[in-house]
Amino acid sequence: MSIFHHFRKEELPFAERALEMLTQVERKQAMRLTDFLDPRHYFILHSLQSQVSGVAVTANGGYSGAERVRAMLHPEYIEPDQEDFQLMLVQISGDQRFLKLEHRDVMGALLHVGLKREKFGDILMGDDGCQGILAKETADFVRMQVTQIHRIPVVLEEVPLTKIVSPTVKQTEKTFTVSSPRIDAVVGEVYHLSRAKALVPIRAGRLKINWKVEDDPSVQVKAGDIVSLAGHGRFQVLELAGPTRSGRIRMQVGIFT
């Protein structure tokens, strides 16, 4: 049985590249740096590590708890330095007195100038501005191209990684009941969609559970799961309780804001 059998079809190209990089490090005894990986891609890379010997995988996203990280594949006897990960922190400053920038505004601005998602890491929102973690090789291009975000003129300035402001997770809690914790029912309640309307994006592969595409609407969620639906945002399942007297499941979620 293929070592790739438990990955989804759309994950196979990355899995094959990841195994190729691991094999090259094993053979050449040299370090290889990836682009930014989301947690699912990092899981795939880490799971393939067992296919080679003497190769370690070290992750760095600029701060402890980073969601998106660059991974260094290296011989076990080499310890990578911070500089090896080629990370750059930029402070994004602009006058937000009349219009408050949101995470999606910054994300959209970076993508709009042609920057691929794997070339930048977490976007950290603050009261007076925000920070972005970039692949160092893209930093000059981004600073020249991104001069306005959502009608606000902005300046991007490189700052040391030691100045990074760890993000505060903001969630709006919502409690409701469902007949079962099927993902189509849960998504419908969270985003005020009918079951029929919730099925369309799910079957189109636009929903992820814990960063893995899930197109089966009957899959059941559990406490701790992070669910994202393209165009709607994401939420975390905080608690499942019940059943109620009517036999329904009481659920509490935290919608990321």
Task: Please state which CATH class domain 87-163 belongs to.
Answer: alpha beta
* Residue type, position 229, single letter: L
Kindly list the domain boundaries of the chain, sorted by start residue.
Answer: 9-84, 87-163, 171-256
Task: Please state which CATH class domain 171-256 belongs to.
Answer: alpha beta
Q: CATH code for 9-84? A: 3.30.1370.160
- Helix or strand holding residue 238 (H, E): strand 233-241
Q: Please name which of 51, 55, 153, 54 lies closest in space to residue 99, comparing C-alpha atoms.
A: 153
Q: Please name which of 149, 158, 146, 152 lies closest in space to residue 114, comparing C-alpha atoms.
A: 146
Per-residue pLDDT of the chain in tens (257 residues, 90 and over written 9): 578 888 889 999 999 999 999 999 999 999 999 999 999 999 999 999 999 999 999 999 999 999 999 999 999 999 999 999 999 999 999 888 888 888 889 999 999 999 999 999 999 987 667 999 999 999 899 999 999 998 899 999 999 999 998 777 788 999 999 999 999 999 999 999 998 899 999 999 999 999 999 999 999 999 999 999 998 999 999 999 878 888 899 999 999 87
Task: Work out whether the CA dihedral 48, 50, 55, 60 comes out positive or negative.
Answer: positive
What is the pTM for the complete model shown? 0.87
As a whole number of angstroms, the distance between CA 140 and CA 121 comes to 16
Q: What is the residue-wise DSSP string for 106-151?
A: HHHHHHHTT--GGGEEEEEE-SS-EEEEEEGGGHHHHHHH--EETT
